[in-house]
Amino acid sequence: MSKRISSLFLLLAGSLVLGALAPATLFGAPGNHTRDVMVEDFDIVVPATEGCSGEDVHVFGTLDIIIQTTTDSRGGLHVVFHLTPHLIGVGLSTGLDYNPVGPSQFVFIVDGTGPRVTAGVNIINLISPGSTDNLVITETVHVTVNANGTTTVEFDNVNAACRG
């Protein structure tokens, strides 16, 4: 599924790049705040091996995304990433529907000096009707930047699993 990641996940990774800015870029910067609102298309196919009913599941729709970024006067960076899914999942063989519940939110706080670690977990719950297990898509993101501004660890993993 990692080759079919939607641009949402790339957008989140891009938000994390903000945390990779060199300390000199952030240190001493005047405080400021930005707020971006967007709607992002989402369209993936979860393979049968990761689905709940033994079939491929097409997950599609849109995500409402709000990204708020604040740089404080000490060079600290605060990012709040909030998304609300308007998705549906459909089993490609049976037509079984999976419906999303609840929004997701990440909060990243990056000190303007020294090494820093930024990490987050995004969970999209797609609830099935009746006794069929629910489909849960989980994204784990991690970026570590050393004191020299060099990224030493970076990953963005997406998995899907069934949960009862």
- Which pLDDT score is estimated for 152? 93
Per-residue tokens: 53: 């009913």
Is residue 61 within 8 Å of residue 99, measured between CB atoms?
no
H or E stretch at 60: strand 57-71
pLDDT band at 20 (very low <50, low <70, confident <90, very high): very low
- Alpha carbon distance, N-terminus to C-terminus of the chain: 22
Position 133 confidence tier, pLDDT thresholds 50, 70, 90? confident
The 10 Å Cβ neighbour count of residue 59 is 24
Segment among 63-67, 116-120, 130-134 with least mean pLDDT: 116-120
